[in-house]
C-alpha cells in the first residue's frame, strides 16, 4: 500500500515542503531510511540524521529549523511522535481493510452465513450454523466452529480458532494462533486416583472492541460462559481459564494467567507473568505488578505485588527487611554469643 506526501499531510493536518506527490510504501527509523520509506523526527537527539537519511518523506516537528537543504519531502507537523502513531494506525488499518473476496481453497458451509465485504483467506474453514458479520477479515487457516458467531468489522489473523458455540462481538481483533473456546482444565480423580475428564459444555462470550494477542487462549466454561467484557486488551500468551469473567477495559501483559472461576473487575492493569488462583474476586481499577501471584481477594483500587500478593506499600517495607536479613542474622548470633558469655559469668 502506498501513501503520498499530500495524503500524509492530510491525515496529520501538516504542511508539505517539497514534492507533494512523492509516495512511500513503508516506514523506517530515520537513521535507516531508504528510498520509498517514511521516517519521523521528534527527538532533537536524532537531528543529525535529517541530513543523512535516504527516506522519501520525513515527518518532523515544526520547531525544527533546517541548517541545510535536504533532497526529500518534509511534512511539518505540531507533534511528529503523535503523528507517526496516527500514520501507523492508518497504514495498518488500510492494508487490512482493503482485503475483500474469497481465496481458494476455502470451506464455507452452505448452512453458514457470511456478511458483506468480507475477506476469507485460503484454507479457512467456516462450519455449519456459523454466522460472520459484515466487513470481517478472515486470514488463512482460520477455523470457525459450528454455530459460532463473529460480529462486524472483526479481524481474525492466521491460525485463529473459534470453537463451536462461541461468540465474538464487533470490532474485535484476534491475533495469530489465538484460541477461543478450548476445553477448560477440568478433571475429577476416581477411586483409583485416575483422572476422569469433566465435560466442558459451556462457551466463551467476547464482547465488542476486544483484542487478543498471539497464542492467547480462552477456555470455554464447564457450564454457562467464560466472559470477556468490552474493551479488554490481552497481550500475547495470556491464558484465561474456564468460567472466568474479565471486566470492561481491563488490560493484561504477556504470560498472565487467570485460573478457573475467578472474577476480575473493570479497568484493571496486570503486569507480565502475573497470575490469579481460582475462585477469587479482584475489584475494579486494580493494578498488579509483573510476576504478582494473587492468592486472596483484592479490593477496588489497590495495587499489589509479590507472591503471595500484598499491597505494594507493605511489600516494599517487607522487602527492605528481607534485604537486611543477613545482617540481622549476624546481629542475632552475636547477641546469642554475648548472652551465653554472660550466663557463664
pLDDT digits (tens, 9 = 90+) for 39-56: 999 988 888 999 999 999
If you count them, how many residues does the chain have?
A: 345
Task: Check whether residue 33 and residue 177 sit in a common domain.
Answer: no
Q: Are 339 and 304 in contact (CB under 8 A)?
A: no
**Torsion angle of the four alpha carbons 108, 114, 116, 117, in this order, in degrees rounded to the nearest 10:** -50
Active-site hit among 175, 242, 279, 319: 242
What is the phi/psi pair of residue 305, to 5°?
-150, 165
Statement to judge: residues 87 and 191 lie in one domain: no
Q: Are residues 275 and 256 in the same domain?
A: yes
Q: Read off the DSSP letter of residue 45.
A: G
Helices (H) and strands (E) in the chain, counts: 4, 40
Where residue 67 sits, what CATH number does that domain have?
A: 3.40.1390.10
Cβ proximity of 145 and 125 under 8 Å: no
Give the pLDDT of residue 119: 96
Task: Quickly state the pLDDT bin for 97 (edges 50, 70, 90).
Answer: low
pLDDT for 191-200, tens place per residue?
A: 999 999 999 9
- 341 within domain boundaries: no
- Domain membership of residue 227 (yes or no) is yes
147 DSSP assignment: T
Please give the residue range of the domain that contains residue 130.
101-315
Same domain, 187 and 263: yes
User: Does some domain include residue 326?
Assistant: no
Within a domain: 206: yes
Position 98 confidence tier, pLDDT thresholds 50, 70, 90: confident
Residue 289, pLDDT > 80, answer yes
Say how far apart CA 181 and CA 68 lie, in whole Å: 59
Distances (CA, A) of 344 to 11, 301, 330, 333, 335: 87, 57, 21, 17, 14
ω before 37 within 30° of 0 (cis)? no
Last residue of a domain, one of 97, 116, 143: 97
* Residues 248 and 231 grouped into a single domain: yes
The candidate with the shortest Cα–Cα distance to 157, out of 169, 140, 144, is: 140
Query: Does residue 239 share a domain with residue 109?
Result: yes
Considering the domain boundaries, does residue 325 fall inside one? no
Is 242 marked active-site?
A: yes
Task: Give the Cα separation of 345 and 340 in Å (integer).
Answer: 9
Amino acid at each position: 500500500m502506498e501513501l503520498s506526501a499530500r495524503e500524509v499531510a492530510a491525515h496529520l493536518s501538516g504542511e508539505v515542503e517539497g514534492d507533494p506527490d512523492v509516495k512511500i510504501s513503508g516506514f523506517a527509523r530515520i537513521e535507516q531510511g531508504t528510498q520509498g520509506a517514511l521516517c519521523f523526527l521528534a527527538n532533537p537527539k536524532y537531528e543529525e540524521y535529517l541530513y543523512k537519511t535516504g527516506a522519501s518523506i520525513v515527518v518532523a516537528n515544526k520547531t525544527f529549523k533546517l541548517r541545510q537543504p535536504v533532497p526529500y519531502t518534509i511534512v511539518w507537523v505540531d507533534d511528529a511522535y503523535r503523528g507517526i502513531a496516527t500514520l501507523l494506525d492508518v497504514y495498518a488499518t488500510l492494508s487490512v481493510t482493503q482485503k475483500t473476496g474469497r481465496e481458494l481453497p476455502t470451506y464455507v458451509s452452505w448452512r453458514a452465513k457470511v456478511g458483506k465485504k468480507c475477506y476469507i483467506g485460503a484454507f479457512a474453514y467456516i462450519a455449519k450454523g456459523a454466522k460472520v458479520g459484515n466487513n470481517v477479515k478472515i486470514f488463512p487457516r482460520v477455523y470457525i466452529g459450528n454455530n459460532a458467531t463473529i460480529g462486524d468489522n472483526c479481524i481474525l489473523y492466521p491460525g485463529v480458532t473459534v470453537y463451536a458455540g462461541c461468540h465474538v462481538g464487533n470490532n474485535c481483533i484476534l491475533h495469530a494462533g489465538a484460541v477461543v473456546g478450548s476445553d477448560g482444565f477440568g478433571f475429577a480423580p476416581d477411586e483409583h486416583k485416575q483422572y476422569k475428564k469433566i465435560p466442558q459444555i459451556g462457551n466463551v462470550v467476547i464482547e465488542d472492541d476486544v483484542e487478543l494477542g498471539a497464542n492467547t487462549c480462552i477456555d470455554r466454561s464447564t457450564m454457562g460462559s467464560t466472559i470477556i467484557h468490552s474493551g479488554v486488551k490481552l497481550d500475547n500468551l495470556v491464558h484465561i481459564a474456564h468460567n472466568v469473567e474479565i471486566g470492561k477495559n481491563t488490560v493484561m501483559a504477556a504470560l498472565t494467567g487467570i485460573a478457573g472461576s475467578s472474577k476480575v473487575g473493570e479497568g484493571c492493569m496486570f503486569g507480565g507473568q502475573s497470575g490469579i488462583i481460582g475462585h477469587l474476586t479482584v475489584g475494579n481499577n486494580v493494578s498488579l505488578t509483573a510476576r504478582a501471584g494473587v492468592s486472596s481477594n483484592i479490593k477496588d483500587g489497590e495495587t499489589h505485588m509479590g507472591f503471595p500478593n500484598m499491597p505494594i506499600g507493605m511489600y516494599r517495607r517487607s522487602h527492605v527487611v528481607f534485604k537486611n536479613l543477613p545482617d540481622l542474622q549476624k546481629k542475632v548470633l552475636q547477641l546469642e554469643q554475648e548472652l551465653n558469655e554472660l550466663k557463664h559469668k
